Amino acid sequence: MGGYIARRLLSMLFMLLLLSLVVFLLFSVLPTDPARLTCGKSCTPAIIEANRHRLGLDLPVWQQYWEFLKGLFLGRTYGSGDQTFQCDAPCLGYSFKKGEEVTVLIKDRFPTTMWLALGAFVIWLTVGITFGIYSALRRGKWQDKTVMGISLIGYSLPSFFIGLILLFFIILKWQLLPYPAYVPPWENPVQFFQTMILPWIVLAILYAAFYMRLTRNQMLDTLGEDYIRTARAKGLPERIVIRKHALRAGLTPIVTAAGLDLAGLLGGAIITEQIFSLPGLGSLAVSSVQDYDLPLIVGITLVTATFIIVANLIVDLLYAVIDPRVRLV
């Protein structure tokens, strides 16, 4: 196990290094001068050149990338002489549009996205797995057809449509909830819940529909195995057969999908955050693209990719816990 984890960590570091190089080179060859974007219409050639030097954009591309890598581990100093400022490690760059370090901007926005992702994750797993099992145990009956019909509708509706419908009826028409105004849960738990409940429902509807179908299919495949019939023949209670034998054996693809979906959401649920005005990574990514803020785009891309790569490692390790037949070598 230890050797496997060490190899996977080395592989993960190599993938992140390669990804950072590709992303950095991709944005460095774009036909746009980042230094020209650091000021408005009143920019003069002298100011542009000063900003280019201040942000290290006058260096060769390979040296810019090297400085970027050093900044991740050791921090980085921008500018020279009296016009210097320090970006502490891990430094993902400096946003010339917002006048702030990329790491600070991401750190400020990440808690909102984290709460959004975790809340929706708990709801969709609970609903999806529960109704998936319920549907599998009533295969071919009206309960099964009803659950699968609902899941098909939920899976077909786009998130912006569900979000706008809930926003219009729940908040604007019926006024059951106040208009979303995000605050951290430790400042005002009631307002936090009122703001997050609809975004959680939007994401949960989309993902729960998929997990209903996935869980049902896995349960049906597992319930047809010989060891399930043997467990029932031994007189084990049905709940034990379902929970300890059928569900556990069918969890592997569910864990895979859940880990990757959660990691993707931690990178920002762009549409949902925009609809409900949530100050998360998704809305930050949209504004960075609109402002052509290249350092911020690179930083968000790398952070999102890191979540997905780490999630892959965690999912692989969970395989051995869920299914004893899996051996990590």
Model confidence at 324, in pLDDT bands (50, 70, 90)?
low
Amino acid 130: pLDDT:
93
Is 174 a residue whose pLDDT tops 80? yes
- Cis peptide leading into 90, omega within 30 of 0? yes
Model confidence at 326, in pLDDT bands (50, 70, 90)?
low
Amino acid 325: pLDDT:
61
Is 90 a residue whose pLDDT tops 90? no
3-state secondary structure the chain: CHHHHHHHHHHHHHHHHHHHHHHHHHHHCCCCCHHHHHCCCCCCHHHHHHHHHHCCCCCCHHHHHHHHHHHHHHCEEEEECCEEEEECCCCCCEECCCCEEHHHHHHHHHHHHHHHHHHHHHHHHHHHHHHHHHHHHCCCCHHHHHHHHHHHHHHHCCHHHHHHHHHHHHHHHCCCCCCCCCCCCCCCHHHHHHHHHHHHHHHHHHHHHHHHHHHHHHHHHHHCCHHHHHHHHCCCCHHHHHHHHHHHHCHHHHHHHHHHHHHHHHCCCHHHHHHCCCCCHHHHHHHHHHCCCHHHHHHHHHHHHHHHHHHHHHHHHHHHHHCCCCCCC
Of 52 and 177, the structure prediction assigns the larger pLDDT to 177
Is 328 a residue whose pLDDT tops 70? no
Amino acid 267: pLDDT:
79
Amino acid 36: pLDDT:
74
Are 68 and 24 in contact by the 8 Å Cβ rule? The answer is yes
What is the tens place of the pLDDT at every residue in 4-47?
Answer: 778 878 888 888 888 888 888 877 777 677 777 777 666 778 87
Is 108 a residue whose pLDDT tops 90? yes
Amino acid 323: pLDDT:
65
**For residues 206-213, average pLDDT:** 92
Model confidence at 80, in pLDDT bands (50, 70, 90)?
low
Amino acid 125: pLDDT:
94
Amino acid 105: pLDDT:
94
The reported pTM is 0.88
Amino acid 270: pLDDT:
87
Model confidence at 327, in pLDDT bands (50, 70, 90)?
low
CA angle 210, 133, 145 (to 5 degrees): 70
Top CATH class of 102-322 equals: mainly alpha
**Treating both helix axes as pointing N-terminal to C-terminal, what angle do 142-156 and 189-223 enclose, rounded to 10 degrees?**
130
Model confidence at 112, in pLDDT bands (50, 70, 90)?
very high
Is 243 a residue whose pLDDT tops 70? yes
Distance CA 196, CA 74 (A): 37
Upper half-sphere CA count for residue 172 (Cβ side, 13 Å): 8
Is 206 a residue whose pLDDT tops 90? no
Domain residue ranges of the chain, discontinuous segments joined by +: 33-91, 102-322
